[in-house]
Chain A
Amino acid sequence: MTDSTVKPRSFQEIVLRLQTYWAGQGCAILQPYDMEVGAGTFHPATTLRSLGSQPWAAAYVQPSRRPTDGRYGENPNRLQHYYQYQVLIKPSPPDLQDLYLGSLAAIGIDAGMHDIRFVEDDWESPTLGAWGLGWEVWCDGMEVSQFTYFQQVGGHDCHPVSGELTYGLERLAMYVLGVDHVMDMPFNDPGAPIPLSYGDVFRQTEEEYSRFNFDVADTTVLLRHFEEAETECAAILGQEEIDPKTAKRIVMAHPAYDQCIKASHIFNLLDARGVISVTERQAYIGRVRALARMCADAFVRTAAGRGQAA
């Protein structure tokens, strides 16, 4: 185990300590989902796995994209591409708050020196048809995590309830490392032969994607892709459940859900391009939610999603 009394020295050390800590608590350490998502919650290891009665415990880093937050790498706190650390445990263990506080200790936040608070923040994802109750966790007045007990996902009541923890990694690391501008944060160890800052790794891409997201992404193509993803999702779920080739019952919840993720990201891009009016916005969100519901409905008909209460 890492010695948590020694302060971490880099962004990656914080990530590694979280990985080690949650592995130590028995979580399966998964890898990021290989698609563009707006938040770690979209990973099927969270959305889909929070449904049904099967126990689950997973933790992973998820690169997340929020095209509207792009600032060409100039803003000290805002990025269009950033990392979330996500933990999902079902059923939520009774000592989840203590486990969470243990993770803060593991990355060098001493609860005896800091002011850690659980402040009401109910979570809702209109695109996923999901909501839960919980808090944002404050450390010295800064929000360092979201802590949520899922109550409903994809329109289904969660039973048992999953406990979800989401850490905004850059913000948390900047605080622990005492850095004021994200681009100045050491990515690997400052004493490494080739020390790299967060800016060395990401300044270039932030610039490129900011320009692309705001001004270049082809809205006609995006609009078409949105429709295609929507159609494809429904088409996948419209297939016979019995596979004609293998004669097995195979409900393709995950491939369909990929299309839902795709539609959601395209919607975010269109939003960043400023082509979605206030009223259209609601309609688009409703369309993505409809996909998420269809996928959730399909998932609970699979082995992994079994035991979902009606």
Chain B
Amino acid sequence: MPDLLIELFSEEIPARMQGKAAEDFKRLMTDALVDAGLTYAGAAAFSTPRRLTLSVHGLLATSPTTREERKGPRVDAPDKAIEGFLRGAGVARDDLEIRDEKKGQVYFATITRPGRPAADIVAEELEKVIRNFPWPKSMRWGAGSLRWVRPLHSILCILTDDGGAAQVVEMELDGIRAGAATRGHRFMAPEPFSVTSFEDYEAKLKRANVVLDAAERQATIWQEATNQAFASGLEVVEDRGLLVEVAGLVEWPVVLMGRIDDDFLDLPPEVLQTSMKEHQKFFSVKNPKTGRIERFVTVANVETADHGATILAGNQKVLAARLSDAKFFWENDLRIVRERGLEGMAEGLRDVTFHNKLGSQAARVARIAALAREIAPLAGADAGLAEQAAQVAKADLQSEMVGEFPELQGLMGRYYAEAAGLGSEVAAACEDHYKPLGPGDAVPSAPVSVAVALADKIDTLTGFWAIDEKPTGSKDPYALRRAALGVIRIVMEGDLRLPLDRFIDAQLLRHKITLNRSEASDNEIDTLEEILEEIAHHGVFGAAFRAVLDRLQDGDRAPETGDGSLIHMVGEAMPDLSDNLLAFLHDRLKVHLRDEGIRHDVIDACLSLDIAAPAGATPGNDDLILLVHRARALGDFLKTDDGENLLQGFKRANNILTQAEDKDGVEYSFGADAKFAETAEERTLFAALDTAEPQIAAALETEDFAGAMSAMAALRAPIDAFFDAVQVNVENAVIRRNRLNLLSRIRHICLQAADLTRVEG
């Protein structure tokens, strides 16, 4: 069985695309071969900067012959129909077979498709794969129309039989003829050579200074780098992503270690590391005793007569120029914060637009600081400290260092906060308030950092909600889903009991004030600010709004509050915005909890609780911790036998009750009386409800959801027994009403714990 070798040789493929391209090549090509009937024993794909290679071994030499039987028209069908059938099947009338069927004699055709040589199939499928290759970005070149990641120069495509003889697969693509030849290293072995098999190809490539396998290049680089570092008593800072990238930039890795000038050793290690990695693709080499980065490792693509001395000198020079810039930024930034504090550095934020509707960075910082102050006590932080931290947390955006290396934002803030003599809590908040940046990132836990991080995220969410820039579908340009998940994770991992409604309302209103400041009258702005203050006391916007409006009616300083006035419009818009944002947070919470195995309908059952309850009676859905505790308890309960059966009992009760209510046009809500009970099961149920009701209420009072659930569990048996023995809709109207009212008690008691109508199943 022959082996297949394909190499697509091109100009330099971007390092970041090589790995996936090799995998795609293998998958697409082998799938296509199998679909065409060519099975194989094994396949492997490789990539270098200039080639994608696929080796398939044990391929069928020809695809198997296939036979398909097709049923045709009846023998007595019109000629036209029979001819059409012959054309479609591609057979002659003599080849048809006549079979007796129920409806009479029918023609049958057997279509034989002879197997095809592997070479023909490979040529056909390879062309399709090349033409439709899923590059993230592809291009045309010259006057041709073929698209590839960079100009494609040659195609090597051979089948090697068991005897070792190679056959070129004949194919031509936009003027490129497939052959058996390739080239080695661009500079060290540029001459073309022919190969007869994969083994021959790989060996000759190595002689021509090309290591085909990216994993081997990575291993060589890492080993050589760590060896050289070790010999100097140093260690290479691990960076898997960089290793993969660098291995994709060379065909013949030559590892060189160089020094960093003493002038630069006082720069923060992260600065050295970032600068070297981003600009030069250097690995950092650390002195384990001091923790300082003292050297670098660069990987060249060529061996030279001077053993890399010229290359290393060049690289060192480029690095020195880069680091001079970094050092200049660092020293300038330090001078500013030492002379004028982080506040001085932050001054420029006034002139930086955060978003054209949401105002400047400075306005944003002021809003975040105000909110951080309000959140602080609930996060266990000092309000003044949280406010101060928020005021300087974005200052480093104005530093020259972050201007050059945006990825150092936050981290530089910490360094500069320390240099400015601010306390460690403030410095930590500068760095940590951006966190978590992704699902795998750690969540801040220090109280001041938590307050600022929450305030930052809530400000972002409310801001984009206020200007109606919510995420839609896959579009989330302001990373609002990430911000929402950040809020959820900080709250949950910190076990924070927060009235989110209050903070969302307050921050939405702050945005409304920013958005309207230039247009609105002083009177209107004063009123909005008064409402803002009241939110802290009333907890939500609605109550605060009414309180301020009531007060205004008594005073003589009354802004316009009628239809169309700013105050009226804000009053109308706020509740919907706030509910909508909270619903968004709930959606993100559901996604987050799904990983924990909590079903979305279980959360819905807990969420819709206080919609049914009278306003302000239950702790709100904005307390995520409470919500999650309740959902966990309900989820656990529903997994038990009692839970499952109680749910069915509840649903049965609810259905009968709802139907009766619909039919009778009344609501059965109270008045069930044990004295009308006719059966033992009824009386038992009355007794069970009398016991469970206060138990559930007491448990809920103390947020003992598990307790509430177990009290509910006690209802299962009496409810089941009731339905087994008792008919609800009886002739006697008094008995029927009494039983319906009894069902209503079941519904009422169960709904206290969760809206079981929402639970599926």
Please list the residues of chain A having a beta carbon within 8 angstroms of any beta carbon in chain B.
76-77, 91-94, 97, 111-120, 122, 132-135, 139-142, 149, 151, 158-161, 163, 175, 180, 277-279
**Are A140 and B311 neighbours in the complex by a CB distance under 8 Å?**
yes
**Are B153 and A113 neighbours in the complex by a CB distance under 8 Å?**
no
Stretch at the interface among B314-322, B408-416, B431-439: B314-322
**Are B305 and A112 neighbours in the complex by a CB distance under 8 Å?**
yes
A30 to B526, CA, bound (A): 67
Cβ of B591 within 8 Å of any chain A Cβ, yes or no, is: no
A84 to B315, CA, bound (A): 23
**Are A278 and B305 neighbours in the complex by a CB distance under 8 Å?**
no
Smallest CB separation, B274 vs chain A (Å): 16
Given A93-B142, A117-B249, A133-B139, verify A149-B151 contact (CB < 8 Å).
Answer: yes
**Are A140 and B137 neighbours in the complex by a CB distance under 8 Å?**
no
Cβ of B478 within 8 Å of any chain A Cβ, yes or no, is: no
**Are A94 and B153 neighbours in the complex by a CB distance under 8 Å?**
yes
Kindly list chain B residues whose C-beta atoms are within 8 Å of the C-beta of A140: 310-311, 313-315, 318
Kindly list chain B residues whose C-beta atoms are within 8 Å of the C-beta of A158: 140
**Are A133 and B314 neighbours in the complex by a CB distance under 8 Å?**
no
**Are B140 and A118 neighbours in the complex by a CB distance under 8 Å?**
no
A115-B314, A142-B317, A278-B352 given. 16 additional CB < 8 A pairs?
A92-B141, A92-B151, A93-B142, A112-B187, A113-B305, A113-B311, A114-B302, A115-B311, A117-B12, A117-B301, A120-B16, A122-B137, A140-B310, A142-B314, A149-B151, A151-B139
Chain B, residue nearest A140 (CB): B314
Kindly list chain A residues whose C-beta atoms are within 8 Å of the C-beta of B315: 140-141
**Are A114 and B310 neighbours in the complex by a CB distance under 8 Å?**
yes
Chain A, residue nearest B142 (CB): A91
**Are B15 and A120 neighbours in the complex by a CB distance under 8 Å?**
yes
A92 to B142, CA, bound (A): 4
Kindly list chain A residues whose C-beta atoms are within 8 Å of the C-beta of B351: 277
Cβ of B74 within 8 Å of any chain A Cβ, yes or no, is: no
Cβ of B280 within 8 Å of any chain A Cβ, yes or no, is: yes
Kindly list chain B residues whose C-beta atoms are within 8 Å of the C-beta of A180: 317
Contact with A along B13-41 (1 / 0, CB 8 A): 01110000000000000000000000000
Cβ of B691 within 8 Å of any chain A Cβ, yes or no, is: no
Cβ of B356 within 8 Å of any chain A Cβ, yes or no, is: yes
Kindly list chain A residues whose C-beta atoms are within 8 Å of the C-beta of B353: 277-279
Kindly list chain B residues whose C-beta atoms are within 8 Å of the C-beta of A117: 12, 249-250, 301
Smallest CB separation, B1 vs chain A (Å): 37
Contact with A along B349-362 (1 / 0, CB 8 A): 00111001000000
Most chain A CB neighbours (cut-off 10 Å) among B14, B139, B143: B139
**Are A141 and B142 neighbours in the complex by a CB distance under 8 Å?**
no
A214 to B279, CA, bound (A): 28
**Are A149 and B302 neighbours in the complex by a CB distance under 8 Å?**
no
A168 to B308, CA, bound (A): 25
A161 to B141, CA, bound (A): 5
A102 to B311, CA, bound (A): 19
A175 to B298, CA, bound (A): 19
Q: Which of B268-300 contact A (CB under 8 A)?
A: 280, 298, 300
Kindly list chain A residues whose C-beta atoms are within 8 Å of the C-beta of B187: 111-112, 116
Chain A, residue nearest B137 (CB): A133
Kindly list chain B residues whose C-beta atoms are within 8 Å of the C-beta of A119: 12, 15, 249
Given A92-B142, A120-B15, A141-B318, verify A115-B301 contact (CB < 8 Å).
Answer: yes
**Are A141 and B305 neighbours in the complex by a CB distance under 8 Å?**
no
| 7 shortest interchain CB distances as A-B pairs | A140-B314, A120-B14, A118-B12, A141-B315, A160-B143, A115-B300, A91-B143
A122 to B12, CA, bound (A): 13
Kindly list chain A residues whose C-beta atoms are within 8 Å of the C-beta of B481: none
Smallest CB separation, A122 vs chain B (Å): 7
Cβ of B262 within 8 Å of any chain A Cβ, yes or no, is: no
Kindly list chain A residues whose C-beta atoms are within 8 Å of the C-beta of B298: 141
Q: Which of B125-162 contact A (CB under 8 A)?
A: 137, 139-143, 149-151, 153
**Are A113 and B310 neighbours in the complex by a CB distance under 8 Å?**
yes
Kindly list chain A residues whose C-beta atoms are within 8 Å of the C-beta of B69: none
A128 to B311, CA, bound (A): 36
Cβ of B306 within 8 Å of any chain A Cβ, yes or no, is: yes
Cβ of B703 within 8 Å of any chain A Cβ, yes or no, is: no
A278 to B360, CA, bound (A): 11
Q: Which of B356-404 contact A (CB under 8 A)?
A: 356
Show 25 residue pairs from A and B whose CB-CB distance is below 8 angstroms, ordered by the A residue: A76-B324, A92-B151, A94-B151, A112-B305, A113-B304, A113-B305, A115-B311, A119-B12, A120-B12, A120-B14, A120-B15, A133-B150, A135-B12, A140-B315, A140-B318, A141-B314, A141-B318, A149-B150, A151-B139, A159-B143, A161-B140, A163-B141, A180-B317, A279-B353, A279-B356
Kindly list chain B residues whose C-beta atoms are within 8 Å of the C-beta of A93: 142
Cβ of B331 within 8 Å of any chain A Cβ, yes or no, is: no
Kindly list chain A residues whose C-beta atoms are within 8 Å of the C-beta of B16: 120
A120 to B141, CA, bound (A): 16
Kindly list chain A residues whose C-beta atoms are within 8 Å of the C-beta of B97: none
Cβ of B11 within 8 Å of any chain A Cβ, yes or no, is: yes
Smallest CB separation, A179 vs chain B (Å): 11
Given A118-B12, A133-B139, verify A76-B311 contact (CB < 8 Å).
Answer: no
Smallest CB separation, B215 vs chain A (Å): 21
**Are B306 and A113 neighbours in the complex by a CB distance under 8 Å?**
yes
**Are A175 and B314 neighbours in the complex by a CB distance under 8 Å?**
yes
Kindly list chain B residues whose C-beta atoms are within 8 Å of the C-beta of A134: 150
Chain A, residue nearest B140 (CB): A161
A94 to B154, CA, bound (A): 11
Chain A, residue nearest B279 (CB): A141
Kindly list chain A residues whose C-beta atoms are within 8 Å of the C-beta of B304: 112-114
Smallest CB separation, A101 vs chain B (Å): 8
A112 to B300, CA, bound (A): 12
Kindly list chain B residues whose C-beta atoms are within 8 Å of the C-beta of A161: 139-143
Smallest CB separation, A1 vs chain B (Å): 22
Kindly list chain A residues whose C-beta atoms are within 8 Å of the C-beta of B11: 97, 118
Kindly list chain B residues whose C-beta atoms are within 8 Å of the C-beta of A111: 187, 302
Smallest CB separation, A64 vs chain B (Å): 20
Kindly list chain B residues whose C-beta atoms are within 8 Å of the C-beta of A279: 353, 356
